[in-house]
Amino acid sequence: MTQINLSPRRPFIDAVNLSELVEAYIVDARLRVKPHTADAYDYLLAHLLRWWAGAGPPLGYRLDANGWRLFEGWLAQQVSTQSGQPLTLNTRRSCLGRCRQVLRWAYNLDYLDRDFSGDVPSVLGTPAQRAAPDGGQLVRLLAAALTLRDQALIALFIGTGVRRAEAAALDVEDLTFHADGGGVIDVRKGKGNLPRRVVFDTACGEYLSALLDGDGLRIGPLFCGWKGKRLTPKSVYRVVKDACVRAGIDERGRGPHDLRRAFATEWLRHRRDLGAGQLLSMQLGHTSQATSLLYSKQTLDDLQNNFTSPLPDLRKSGK
């Protein structure tokens, strides 16, 4: 006969030195992955260390499956320092996934005598669908930009769909203007360090030209901040975020990535040919058209405006 044990022994980690373990993981990661990837690991794991600084002492520094569930619940209550919004489901999922990787790494390198990664729970749910800002909201956003720099930066996102890190890395020399005022931008530092060229039209070119002429820019960083220093990606985000707040579109245009979605949505809304997806991928810097299509946030109105079925033709042929 087997009796129910109401007090089962649960394996746990003596996690007094958890911060040192995480630091060792980050140091090792910086030898294996690109710097921006290691920075992302550092950001995600900082949530764990911040939680553990407060939760560790009450738990006697014993970290088991129940502790990881407490951490998952804590994550759901946290707010992003960048957006001021609750952490997204994807961010929480990535954070817990990185914690699992740390535990597997620690076991493989004998920092731990067993693999505890199975103790880390998964985040359930479906990410909220983000809607792209519409034309009227984008007009208000441009009007809310306070300087020539901010106007040109926001116009660049709306008009080209580049990433914020790509925009921050641009130099004046990367711009090539054509006779009509449009042109081409050499994105030297694309995602994954893959360079590419993107196109801008006359409307975007007007904002870029106004910045160059108004600020007397000839060489060097395109978007500058304090004492002429290049804006960081974080500062670029702040410029767009603050303008979104002033324009009253904080929920629709939270940052540069939402403007990237707006660009993709408008691109596919006005291009129905078979090559539209490939050209969009070239512009956005995606290796897969499927990834680019995820950025398009077309609505039921788009579906209704472009809907066709075979029934009308069938009725005609049956007469």
**Torsion, Cα of 78, 79, 82, 88 (10° steps):** 80
CA pair distance 63, 215, nearest whole angstrom: 55
- Find the catalytic residue in 92, 241, 286, 297: 286
Judge whether 191 counts as a catalytic residue: yes
**Which contiguous run of DSSP H or E holds residue 279?**
helix 276-284
68 closest CA partner among 54, 51, 50: 51
Judge whether 163 counts as a catalytic residue: yes
Judge whether 286 counts as a catalytic residue: yes
- Find the catalytic residue in 149, 260, 261, 297: 260
- Find the catalytic residue in 191, 196, 230, 238: 191
- Find the catalytic residue in 25, 207, 237, 295: 295
- Find the catalytic residue in 163, 241, 252, 261: 163
Ordered alpha helix ranges (H), the chain: 18-32, 35-55, 65-75, 89-108, 135-144, 148-160, 164-168, 202-215, 233-247, 256-269, 276-284, 289-295, 300-305, 311-318
Judge whether 257 counts as a catalytic residue: yes
User: What Å distances lie between residue 149 and 88, 212, 260, CA to CA?
Assistant: 30, 9, 18
237 closest CA partner among 221, 260, 206, 208: 260
CB within 8 Å of 168: residues ≥ 6 apart: 223, 230, 231, 232, 233, 235, 236
Cβ 198 vs Cβ 187: under 8 Å: yes
Active site residues: 163, 191, 257, 260, 286, 295
